[in-house]
A and B are shown apart, each in its own frame.
Chain A
């Protein structure tokens, strides 16, 4: 079990540029989540996938943001036309949701180290 990995760890870009982040979840985890964390705040939910299906998106996810998980494994988060307000830490988490046994909603989300985005 190698844990959740994210790439890159740091990204500096100029306003108006597009950026893409990648998240590799723990192997066999069927759920994948994206959160955003700004300085001094707790993480805020952006979106999540069960396998390749995107099940929920936050209102924080404007039309400049898009996330994919094409084969139910890794995921990408793209931000188009970046703005200075997009500067934040982008966190990815994964979990394994079973149909039986574990109570629904009780599965543990394991977080990656995050990608820190700075928009100049």
Chain B
């Protein structure tokens, strides 16, 4: 079964600083990987996804993530944080093998709350 670990439940950065949110996955084969953002009292919004094409994936709002098979990681980065980036971020994994009953569901990490200081 696949799983996701997000290192650091809280990350705090200054406005304009680099944002790095860590995600490691556990899967017997390279899965599909997703990053979602959740603002208070709202649903989840997709930032980006990895589907076994390019290993460096660019998403919305200046975020990007790099799939590293050797490290089983899919860390999310943004060169310069903005106050509006303050939210909770979730990494999720989805099984990529054809067939099998787990083809639909996403398995989420526990989330990382990003705080941006002025």
Binding site for B on A (CB under 8 A): 4, 31, 33, 35, 40-45, 48, 50, 55-56, 58, 91, 93, 103-106, 108-114
Contact = CB atoms under 8 A, between A and B. Distances in A.
Given A4-B43, A105-B51, 13 more contacts: A45-B105, A48-B104, A50-B104, A91-B43, A91-B44, A103-B32, A104-B103, A108-B46, A109-B106, A111-B43, A113-B41, A113-B43, A114-B43
Contacts, number: 67
Contact of A56 (B9, B36, B41, B102): B102
Contact of B49 (A50, A56, A108, A110): A108
Interface string B31-71: 01000100001111110010110000000000000000000
Nearest to B111: A42
Interface residues of B, number: 30
Contacts of B96: 105
A43 B105 CA distance: 11
A48 B103 CA distance: 10
Contacts of A113: 41-43
A70 to B, nearest CB: 19
Interface of B: 4, 9, 32, 36, 41-46, 49, 51-52, 90, 92, 94-96, 98, 101-111
B32 A105 contact: yes
Q: Which of A43, A56, A111 has the most CB of B within 10 A?
A: A43
Given A43-B44, A113-B43, A106 B110 contact: no
A18 B105 CA distance: 26
Nearest to B96: A105
- List the 8 shortest-distance A-B pairs measured between CB atoms, nearest first: A42-B108, A111-B43, A45-B105, A106-B51, A111-B44, A48-B104, A113-B43, A105-B32
A91 B49 CA distance: 20
